[in-house]
Chain A
Amino acid sequence: MQIIFDNVHYVYSSGTSFEKHALKGINLKINKGEFIGLIGHTGSGKSTLIQHMNGLIKATSGKIYFNGEDIYDKNFDMRTLRSKVGLVFQYPEHQLFETTVYKDVSFGPKNLGLDKLEVDLRTYEALKMVGIGDDLIDASPFELSGGQKRRVAIAGILAMQPEVLILDEPTAGLDPRGRDEILDQIAKLHKEKNITVILVTHSMEDVAKYVDRILVMNNGNLVMDEEKVKIFSRYKELEKMHLAAPQVTYVVNALKEKGIPVSTDVTTVDEAKNEILKVFKDKIQKI
């Protein structure tokens, strides 16, 4: 078990009129190498939850363990946690600040006190992982396109070689191809490096395409924690929480209601296509 939340509560602005109970008794276990989707409406507590994972916010009560160690223990090294759990914020390109792509990405590893060679290696590898070519390495990050900037910002986190990568809405504002490029690269990274990935998103289609397990937050509670297919089969409950299932899940459910024997365990276009082909094949003469 890589990350464990044990009855974690968090209260913002405690004792003032702005007091808000943002996390209400979260119990959660995350295993190494999982690809997890975290969904929930605006203000449901998603961002508060992920900021606990690398110790940016300290729980009001409850315990958090990283690789079996209590992160609130006085002997626990918070610096190590922060380098092992990489958090990519929304619009991370707003945090680019250096004069060249190389300097920006190498800023993190340099601060870890690594030698020049190791810093170089990590920087080049991270940029390669996000698909930024050598031709851009000396460019100013501010001259790049929106999608490129975002990838450089993500590379800055990857250069820290985190074991856990948390991304808060990494595709907001990107065009559909840019969205696919970033998520494909993250999926590849997850597969090749066995990095644990937690993807926070409002796009149910992205969640459906990439993750295995979904966490659903609602009003500070972790209300669902199951594999993808099971979560989306509860789409009526999701709608009550301002969420939804992917469009194709609605298609197969509507067909099923009309008596067509399709499986409703469908969340992507490919799955839907195969399921419909299977069921319609012997029913229609000429296909």
Chain B
Amino acid sequence: MDMIKTRDLTFEYIRRDEGGNVESINRAIDGVNLDVKKGDFIAILGANGSGKSTLAKHINALLYPTEGAVWVNGLNTAEEKNLLEIRRSAGMVFQNPDNQIIATVVEEDVGFGPENLGIPTEEILKRVEESLKAVGMFEYRKQSPNKLSGGQKQRVAIAGIMAMKPQCIVLDEPTAMLDPEGRKEVISTVCSLNKLEKITVLLITHHMDEVIYADKVFVMDRGKIVMQGTPREIFSRVDELKKYRLDVPQVTELAYELKKEGFDIPDGVLSIQELVDALLRLYP
């Protein structure tokens, strides 16, 4: 069964004036069909306003389709009786870590979710410990979150989701406000949750170098999915990506430019090592 499935998903932001008359309609998502298998690591790219975040909010039923449908773990998000189960199985992490942390001690923050699910104390303690270990923040469990770095706060936020035992995590630009080290921490945490805990991951980002770990990349433009493929496939289409206001990692661009100059380099180079190896092979 698919973890996430959408069929002809369309969503319109409708603005009304004081009298309730429709002033304007903005179609943020326009007929999106998405199939995400359990355990997949999916990345979604797209310009500002392309509909990425609106799509993400459909996955844990913060928004409902105007037309079409969304199923999470086989449950239709439009049916109210499924709501709790959907929100339990699909957790969300947002951009600003400071808006997501509520408690004064790290472990209490992580325990907040399961506590609200009415889980017995013993089990909560166990989950808090496991989640903090999974994101590498266990040694900070007794600390105050406001003393942590941005990357650490974001990992605590992820642990808070993990403690709810979700099957899927949706991350909406989780690294936009972080320094390079913080970004690395968060992305490697997400990768290990995907590989080791088999959590399905949906990562929305503007940082092209974070996408290379994904199994599959979707590119959105004006509410539609316009490109999809493995990171290598996507990043070998440099000109097309630029058309959608996107970019490729510096090393991919360098490889692409050198290829245009006649260098025998494979398409869609993703890492520094790959490019260095390709160049070493060419050098007599």
**Could you tell me which A residues sit within 8 Å of B by CB distance?**
40-43, 90, 145-147, 169, 172-179, 202, 204-205, 242-244, 246-248, 250-251, 254-255, 258, 260, 269, 272-273, 276-277, 280, 283-284, 286-287
In the complex, the answer to whether A269 meets B47 with C-beta atoms within 8 Å is: no
List the A side residues contacting B250 at CB < 8 Å: 205, 246-248, 269
* 8 Å CB contact of A276 from B151, B209, B258: B258
In the complex, the answer to whether A243 meets B257 with C-beta atoms within 8 Å is: no
* 8 Å CB contact of A283 from B47, B245, B284: B284
A175 to B275, CA, bound (A): 25
A156 to B280, CA, bound (A): 51
List the A side residues contacting B182 at CB < 8 Å: 41-42, 242
In the complex, the answer to whether A248 meets B180 with C-beta atoms within 8 Å is: no
B157 shortest CB reach to chain A, Å = 15
- Decide yes or no whether B272 CB sits under 8 A from chain A: yes
B85 shortest CB reach to chain A, Å = 32
Instruction: Report if A176-B254 is in contact (Cβ < 8 Å); known contacts: A41-B149, A42-B149, A251-B272.
Output: no
23 A-B pairs within 8 Å (CB atoms) are namely: A41-B149, A41-B179, A42-B179, A172-B176, A173-B176, A175-B47, A175-B50, A175-B206, A175-B245, A178-B47, A178-B245, A179-B206, A202-B183, A242-B179, A243-B179, A244-B180, A254-B272, A258-B276, A260-B283, A273-B254, A273-B258, A280-B282, A286-B262
List the B side residues contacting A178 at CB < 8 Å: 47-48, 245
* 8 Å CB contact of B275 from A202, A251, A280, A283: A251
- Decide yes or no whether B246 CB sits under 8 A from chain A: yes
A238 shortest CB reach to chain B, Å = 9
List the A side residues contacting B283 at CB < 8 Å: 260, 280, 283-284
List the A side residues contacting B262 at CB < 8 Å: 286-287
In the complex, the answer to whether B206 meets A177 with C-beta atoms within 8 Å is: no
Interface residues contributed by chain B, number (CB under 8 Å): 44
Q: Which of B59-96 contact A (CB under 8 A)?
A: 95
- Decide yes or no whether B129 CB sits under 8 A from chain A: no
* 8 Å CB contact of B49 from A145, A176, A179, A254: A145
A42 to B273, CA, bound (A): 28
Known: A178-B245, A247-B254. 15 other contacts (CB 8 A): A42-B151, A145-B48, A175-B206, A176-B246, A176-B247, A179-B206, A205-B250, A247-B209, A269-B257, A273-B257, A276-B254, A276-B258, A280-B283, A283-B283, A287-B261
Q: Which of B228-284 contact A (CB under 8 A)?
A: 242, 245-247, 249-251, 253-254, 257-258, 261-263, 272-273, 275-276, 279-280, 282-284
- Decide yes or no whether B130 CB sits under 8 A from chain A: no
A-B contact count (CB 8 A): 121
In the complex, the answer to whether B263 meets A269 with C-beta atoms within 8 Å is: no
A175 to B221, CA, bound (A): 12
Pairs of residues from A and B, 10 with the lowest C-beta to C-beta distance, nearest first: A242-B181, A177-B245, A176-B247, A247-B250, A175-B47, A146-B48, A254-B276, A287-B262, A247-B251, A42-B150
In the complex, the answer to whether B276 meets A251 with C-beta atoms within 8 Å is: yes
Closest to A266 in B: B254
Instruction: Report if A243-B284 is in contact (Cβ < 8 Å); known contacts: A175-B47, A251-B276, A255-B276.
Output: no
List the A side residues contacting B254 at CB < 8 Å: 247-248, 251, 269, 272-273, 276
A76 shortest CB reach to chain B, Å = 34
A145 shortest CB reach to chain B, Å = 5
A248 to B255, CA, bound (A): 10
A146 to B52, CA, bound (A): 14
A225 to B204, CA, bound (A): 35
List the A side residues contacting B253 at CB < 8 Å: 269
A260 to B275, CA, bound (A): 14
Instruction: Report if A43-B149 is in contact (Cβ < 8 Å); known contacts: A242-B180, A269-B250, A283-B284.
Output: yes
